Amino acid sequence: MNVLLASSEVAPFAKTGGLADVAGALPPALARHGVDVRVIMPRYPGVEKAAENITTVLPRIDVQLGTTHYACRVDATTLPGCDVPVYLVDIPTLFDRPGLYQETGQDYADNHMRFGAFCKAIAWTLIGIGWMPDVIHCNDWQTALLPVMLREDPQISQDAELSQIATLYTIHNMAYQGLFPPESLAALGLPPRLFSPAAMEFYGHLNLMKGALVYADILTTVSPTYAREIQTPEFGCGLEGVLQGRSGDLFGILNGIDYDQWNPADDAYLPAAFTPDDLAGKAACKRELQRELGLPDSPDTPLLVIISRLDPQKGFDILLPLLQRLLQQNVQLAVLGTGLAEYEAILRELSEVNRNRMSATLKFDNGLAHRLEAGGDIFLMPSRYEPCGLNQLYSLRYGTVPVVRHTGGLADSVEQAWQDGSRGTGFVFGDYTSEALYQAIESALSLYRQPTAWRQIQRRGMMRDSSWAASATRYLDLYHQAQRHRRA
Ligand code: ADP
């Protein structure tokens, strides 16, 4: 089976979120199953810092969208540590910019042309290199035009080989759909009839994600619970009806985590290593972390940690109101995050008022993220919605017991702990209220005071299989299903 994974970001070359992690980690796992898998992404400035041996494979292809022509070059490298090829589509007029999608908080106005040209370049790249995938795996709005173009673009849909390719489309977050003015459709060179409610029209806008939901052969999202949730008005962001209409083709597959990057037994960011059978190193990590953050050296005080984008999605409107009350107890709290200025200001002020109990690091710091996962006791993730979530998976693996809301991938990865420690891996609450979150934190603190039961919960979480192996098998099954579906 030949599979091409198309993504606007791929770790370690370019990353703004979880999509990059999936695009960087799923292909090697598929390769281990014998799939001829390749990856394609735009060439942004700085990609060469993480890429080795970049070679040019297609010096010049012409990409036409409507009446606009773009000169494009295709380079190739491989994912680090394996030989999965990565094609880099170089269209300097569109991608040689400081941001991936935006600058100073403003989306680039021509994002439809940027990613439309990328999608079209993918088709011509396949012809140019003479390698045809059985399935193209597309992700999020940036590559949502590809399933549409394979069937409806006047040039691509006429090609005998391209038109045979099946597509699987993965939704990483329903909140980002790629909405553009109606005239964008003509600029992209697609037929005017696609601006209809049955295709890509969405409340007077052109909706790229909707195009993929209509045209892709198989749809997936990143957890089984989120797959159900997005078919409801609360989580579907206006596309729940389209998703309900395709519920037979919609599947949820939980993301894995990169075990090479996130392994407490061998993590270069940590002062000490530890395993489920020997947690002594975790105590050393906690001691060092307290020193690094300027918190009192106190081995028995429960250390609660948060690593998060500071975004309403992540539950800050129920978390922030209870922090002052929480900090009156014998606890410590360490927050790492960037995002909304309003949340940053509240966290900064709270940490200044509670210097002995709380630290707030308002920046992006991957090393500190690893040390917080290792040195913390309890991880807080009270998301309003969470397609999959990675931090709760890292927490489980690092013996930092998660407190999560029962939604999306959190519901699928954390199992409620029993007070005797005999079952479960964390603490799960349902209502989206400060009180429900507070009660869940109280339950965690109460179990923390029973070391034997606590160790059992920690160990069970650390042993959970969050590797990509199982998820890769599920994707492979669905690639076959997409192929059958396509050819039927
Ligand atoms: P989302 O993709 O919605 O932001 P996830 O939990 O799926 O949430 O993934 C977030 C990723 O970004 C994790 O790898 C997490 O460690 C990392 N991260 C988020 N904020 C920071 C930060 N301020 N510093 C370092 N890493 C961060």
**Per-residue model confidence (pLDDT) at position 105:** 85
Name the residue of 174, 259, 262, 309 to mutate for ligand 1: max ligand atoms within 8 A of Cβ: 309
Q: pLDDT tens for residues 32-89?
A: 999 999 999 999 999 999 998 999 999 999 999 999 999 999 999 999 989 999 999 9
Residue 89 near residue 43 (C-beta atoms within 8 A): yes
For ligand 1, whether the C-beta of 225 sits within 6 Å is no
Residue 369: CB within 6 Å of ligand 1?
Answer: yes
Mean pLDDT of the chain: 96
Question: Which phi-psi region, left, alpha or beta, contains residue 73 (left: φ > 0; alpha: ψ -120 to 50)?
Answer: beta
CB-ligand 1 contact for 364 (6 Å cutoff): yes
Q: Report whether residue 337 contacts ligand 1, using a CB cutoff of 6 Å.
A: yes
What CA–CA distance (Å, rounded) separates 387 from 385?
7
Tell me if 306 CB under 6 Å of ligand 1: no
Q: What is the CA(248)–ligand 1 centre distance, in A?
A: 32
305 lines ligand 1 (CB under 6 A): no
Q: Please check whether residue 173 is in contact with residue 141, taking contact to mean a CB–CB distance below 8 angstroms.
A: no
For residue 83, what pLDDT is reported? 93
Residues 310-349 have pLDDT tens digits of 999 999 999 999 999 999 999 999 999 999 999 999 999 9
d(CA 400, CA 413): 14
Report d(CA 101, CA 425) in Å as an integer.
Answer: 37
| pLDDT over 80 at 412, yes or no | yes
pLDDT attached to residue 258: 87
Nearest Cα residue to 17 out of 247, 255, 205, 252: 255
pLDDT-above-90 percentage for the chain: 96
Query: What's the whole-model pTM score?
Result: 0.94
Ligand 1 atom at minimum distance from 21 CA? 14
If DSSP codes are grouped into helix, strand and coil, which group holds residue 305?
Answer: strand
Query: How large is the average pLDDT for residues 239-246?
Result: 98
At 88-119, the pLDDT tens digits run 999 999 999 999 999 988 999 999 999 999 99
DSSP 417: P
pLDDT in tens, 432-476: 999 999 999 999 999 999 999 999 999 999 999 999 999 999 999
Look at residue 487 in the predicted model and tell me its pLDDT: 53
pLDDT of the residue at 243: 98
Query: How many angstroms separate the Cα of 262 from the Cα of each of 23, 368, 370?
Result: 17, 13, 8
pLDDT tens-digit series, residues 339-378: 999 999 999 999 999 999 999 999 999 999 999 999 999 9
Mean pLDDT over 224-232 rounds to 98
Tell me: pLDDT of 16 over 50.
Answer: yes
Q: Which tokens hold the place of 190?
A: 């697609």
The response to whether residue 307 sits with its C-beta less than 6 Å from ligand 1 reads yes
**CA 456 to ligand 1 centroid distance, Å:** 27
Any ligand 1 atom below 6 A from CB of 450: no
